[in-house]
Amino acid sequence: MTSTQGHHITVERGTEHVRVVRDGRVLAESRRPLVLRETGCPVRHYLPPEDVRTELLTPSATRTHCPFKGDASYWSLPDAPDLVWAYPEPKPDVAAIKDHFCFYDTEIVGG
């Protein structure tokens, strides 16, 4: 866990079955997500690269910076720019998310 002036981030192994579907096509499916909880943000599931169909994604020129996690790179689909992101070099406190993919829209299968 990292904590800075009221801002907290935790990363833990999840047991949820997470699936990402867009236009009827499964982009990712994992039973071993990392669950990131961050103050002021929705819970995010970071998926191992082996569980993501990276061949369907195109790297984007978009880059963003988070003072708590580091610099993010993005990937797109033809009709969905910047649909997914990852931190190739995350800050040490969240090192576990390195190269894991996070999608804006995920579904938890089977609760």
Residue 82 sits in a domain of what CATH number? 2.170.150.40
Residue carrying structure tokens 């949820």: 16
- Specify the number of domains making up the chain: 1
- The pLDDT-based confidence of 89 (bands split at 50, 70, 90) is very high
Q: What residues contact residue 108 under an 8 Å CB cut-off, 6+ apart? A: 16, 17, 18
Q: Please tell me the pTM assigned to this model.
A: 0.91
In order of 5, 29, 79, 93, the CA distances from 46 in angstroms are: 25, 11, 22, 15
User: In the predicted model, what is the mean pLDDT of residues 41-68?
Assistant: 96
Residue 40 structural domain: 2-109
In the beta sheet, which residues pair with residue 12?
35
pLDDT at residue 3 greater than cutoff 60: no
In order of 12, 47, 72, 101, the CA distances from 75 in angstroms are: 24, 14, 10, 9
